[in-house]
Structure 1
Amino acid sequence: MEIAFVNTRFDPDLIEFHDVAKQMAKSVGYTAALKVEKQLAQLLRLRVAQINPCSYCLILHTKAAQDQGLPAAKIAHLASWRESNMFSNDERAALAYCEALTEYDLSVFPSTHLALQNYFDEKEIAEIAAIVINMNLWVRLKLAQGATPEVKGENSENTLG
């Protein structure tokens, strides 16, 4: 089934917001060349979409995760990564950091940042932070504009699929 999205609240292009977000995505978006492993980057993007329940981002980044070769079971169990043995220690450290940064949890953020140093170098940590920050920008934009999924062909504006 192909999905389309309709803006139910406002069109962000009225204030050129998409242009600003796209400029940032060139450096850390899902098609960017990063030192961080592509599958890990997709897990982080998808986890941000889950935390912020953005339909547009959930659909887009589930497909992107599949395109990066992530197993369907791993994608399905991402929300319960703490209770799963499907995630490596470096993925766990990055996911904990992702959640702390997305939820702005200062009680755990310093320790999650320190834990990254066991698995990633300074550039990779900066990329992980940028990936999470960029995704949070996109989910908030899509939530604000009211990017609502519907079956393709029924008043569709932006099509995925």
Structure 2
Amino acid sequence: MDDVHYLTTRFDPELAGVSDIFAQLAAAVGYTATLSIDRRLAQLLRLRVAQLNPCSYCLILHTRATADVGVSAAEIAHLPSWRESTMFSEQEQAALAYTEALTVFDQQGVAAAHERMTELFDERGIAEIAAVVINMNLWTRWKLAQGATPVTGLS
């Protein structure tokens, strides 16, 4: 995967003038940020958003980042079918349901998922999880809009 490079096929993202704002948000809740929630959990949620949207750039980046925090290859491969799994903790399952409800925006689903989250996380944890998910949705959609296309074999 180290030989993957990206071509921007639609527009130069710097032209919109929002790159600094996006970078500040990423510093606060992106994959290198320090949060009170577990790094494994945060990274699973980022990868799930990338799968749902589906952003090639983000899928490659966050598959690597998820492995880097100790998530096994089997768990990464199994993430899309987390509902039929015993590989993920009760907290991870609740947060994944919340992630999916926020990403596809199902109003009733968000309410039900939030209710379950209040049983397993404190208010700060829920806020951080929501921020991680919203940030990932922003980035996946930004990369999709600009046409960040992976290619191999470039020098």
Q: TM-score range by the shorter chain?
A: over 0.9
Q: Structure 1: how far apart are the matches of 2:53 and 2:71? A: 21
Letter in 1 for 2:85: S
1:54 aligns with 2:63: no
Task: Say yes or no: does 1:16 pair with 2:25.
Answer: no
TM-superposed CA distance for 1:51, in Å, is 0.3
Please report how far the alpha carbon of residue 16 of structure 1 lies from its aligned counterpart in structure 2 after TM superposition.
Answer: 2.3
Moved more, 58-67 or 8-17: 8-17
Which segments of 5 or more consecutive residues in structure 1 lack a partner in the other structure? Answer: 155-161
- Answer 1 or 2: which has greater helix percent: 2
Root-mean-square deviation (CA, aligned residues, Å) is 0.9
Q: Which residue is 2:152 aligned to? A: 151
Alpha-carbon shift at residue 84 of structure 1 (Å): 1.0
Encode CA deviations 1:43-95: one digit per residue, 9 max, x unaligned: 00000000001000000000000111111100000000001110111000000
State the Cα distance separating 1:37 from its structure 2 match.
Answer: 0.2
Q: Which has the higher contact order (CA 8 A, sep 6+)?
A: 1
Moved beyond 3 Å, runs of 4+: none
The SS at the match of 2:137 is helix
Match of 1:102 in 2: 103
Task: Give 1:29 shift.
Answer: 0.6
Alignment identity in percent?
60
- Distance in 2 between residues matched to 1:16 and 1:59, nearest whole Å: 25
Matches within 5 A, 1:1-161: 1=1, 2-153=3-154
| Structure 2, unpaired ranges of 5+ | none
Q: How far 1:152 moved relative to its partner?
A: 4.0
What secondary structure is seen at the aligned counterpart in 1 of 2:61?
Answer: helix
Looking at structure 1, the residues matched to 120 and 79 of structure 2 have their Cα atoms a distance apart, in angstroms, of 20
Q: TM-score, normalised by structure 2?
A: 0.97
Bigger Cα displacement from structure 2, 57-66 vs 11-20: 11-20
- For 1:29 and 1:99, locate their aligned partners in 2 and report how far apart those are by CA, in whole Å: 18
